[in-house]
Amino acid sequence: MATNTLLLLPGDGIGPEIMAEVKEIIALLNGRGLTDFATDEGLVGGSAYDAHGAAISEADMAKALSADAVLFGAVGGPKWDGVPYDVRPEAGLLRLRKDLGLFANLRPAICYPALADASSLKREVVEGLDILIVRELTGGVYFGEPKEIVTLENGQKRAVDTQLYTTSEIERIARVAFDLARARGRKVASAEKRNVMKSGVLWNQVVTKIGKEEYADVALEHVLADNCAMQLVRWPKQYDVIVCDNLFGDILSDVAAMLTGSLGMLPSASLGAPDAATGKRKALYEPVHGSAPDIAGKGIANPIAMIASFAMALRYSFGLIDLSDKLDAAIAAVLGKGLRTRDIGKDGDTLVSTKEMGAAIREEF
Ligand code: ATP
Ligand code: MG
């Protein structure tokens, strides 16, 4: 019996091409006896719609619910622009997030030395950057009720969104951030706007309490979210882990991504609550980039974000920290040697294919 189960959902566009490189790595790990992964595969997004008329079938949802972790490629593309809203490709990912209860979104922003010149900031500001944004993913203004546009008697319209957080929602995301900080630089910055928002006041109070009572060994700093955005472009290396709500996290993680100069190289993880019996969290790992329909099928997509997402799975779902570190180091090494796919190449670089990049990383691994 395999000890660890992984559901692979390659999805659409370049998804299958980049997932193929992860499959090779899994085969290598299992082959060397370093892991005992059992993988299963399913359809999501447009490919699921074509096969079943749904963005993900019930059978594949059931597989996702029982797997230790889900690896997700990317969904969507012009082919499915006209499909009904409920079954549009993105609905597959939203369903997975909701049914797996994935409330914590982890977005690392790592600047590989070999690519530091691709950042819009100066090399010394970003070189060696390694920060982690922890975004609350299932609450806040994205989901709070009321959420509506109402026509008033005078013909004007009024739009309402509700920023809503409860103590327990803030506690659980704070614990994720503090736990992660413990395994890294032991620093958490909590970003909110307590100066203008009640939810910011509560966020600040709850994070402070959890920090004091449960994580005295982790340094906690509070920062207003707007100032945090400014600090991220001024001197990002001051941060280790940043924890914030759904909306601020959406913005701050995109800011952090651009610091690295390579949006197409970034992985992400989304985690659920620990299971009461086993302590294991539901989890989904995916590249930050999309399905890149413009280059799909050409064999030139960069597989690094997908491979780095698998490295996050090794770390956060399976506790295989050494292997995860080794895989990250292999990525840094091939970049150091000058290997470039088209998206990260400059004029004069010799470009490699998806398969060549994957093979080079396995070679280093
Ligand atoms: P989504 O809405 O799903 O985020 P998008 O169309 O906004 O998708 P991407 O699919 O990420 O964005 O593509 C944006 C651009 O980046 C495209 O030109 C695409 O070819 C390129 N790109 C994205 N990911 C990669 C990758 N892994 N390798 C090479 N190029 C990529
Ligand atoms: Mg898009």
For 131-144, the pLDDT digits (tens) are 999 999 999 999 99
pLDDT at 276: 87
Closest ligand, as measured to the CA of 257 = 1
Shortest-distance atom of ligand 1 to CA 295: 20
Rounded to whole angstroms, what are the CA distances from 18 to 37, 39, 148, 195, 304? 19, 16, 40, 44, 8
Shortest-distance atom of ligand 1 to CA 301: 28
- 94 and 163 belong to one structural domain: no
Q: Over range 338-345, report the average pLDDT.
A: 92
Q: What is the pLDDT of residues 225-284, one digit of tens each?
A: 999 999 999 999 999 999 999 999 999 998 998 888 777 789 999 999 988 888 889 999
Which residue among 206, 239, 259 closes a domain? 259
Does some domain include residue 194?
Answer: yes
**Cα–ligand 1 centroid distance for 121 (angstroms):** 22
- The catalytically annotated residue of 130, 237, 254, 355 is 254
- 273 and 231 belong to one structural domain: no
Atom 17, ligand 1: which residue's CA is nearest? Answer: 292
- 171 and 215 belong to one structural domain: yes
Instruction: Please tell me whether 226 is known to bind a ligand.
Output: yes
In the block, tokens 């600090």 appear at 231
Does some domain include residue 321?
Answer: yes
The strand pairing partners of 131, in sequence order, are: 109
- 269 and 249 belong to one structural domain: no
- 1 and 106 belong to one structural domain: yes
Does some domain include residue 23?
Answer: yes
Does some domain include residue 106?
Answer: yes
d(CA 251, CA 214): 28
Which residue among 259, 293, 317 closes a domain? 259
- Which CATH number does the domain housing residue 220 bear? 3.40.718.10
CB of 301 closer than 6 A to ligand 1? yes
pLDDT at 2: 62
Three-state secondary-structure class, residue 327: helix
The domain of 299 spans: 1-110+264-365
Does some domain include residue 115?
Answer: no
Does some domain include residue 116?
Answer: no
- Pick from 195, 232, 190: which is nearest to 215 by CA? 190
CB of 357 closer than 6 A to ligand 1? no
- 244 and 270 belong to one structural domain: no
Which residue among 214, 237, 259 closes a domain? 259
- 226 and 295 belong to one structural domain: no
Q: How many domains does the chain have?
A: 2
- 85 and 136 belong to one structural domain: no
Does some domain include residue 118?
Answer: no
- 276 and 249 belong to one structural domain: no
254 is known as an active-site residue: yes
Average model confidence (pLDDT) across the chain: 95
- Pick from 331, 344, 349: which is nearest to 21 by CA? 331
- 74 and 97 belong to one structural domain: yes
193 is known as an active-site residue: yes
Q: Which two tokens stand for residue 285?
A: 């790992």
The model's pTM: 0.94
Atom 15, ligand 1: which residue's CA is nearest? Answer: 292
142 is known as an active-site residue: yes
Q: Which two tokens stand for residue 225?
A: 């979210």
Does some domain include residue 124?
Answer: no
Q: What is the pLDDT of residues 283-300, one digit of tens each?
A: 999 999 999 999 999 999
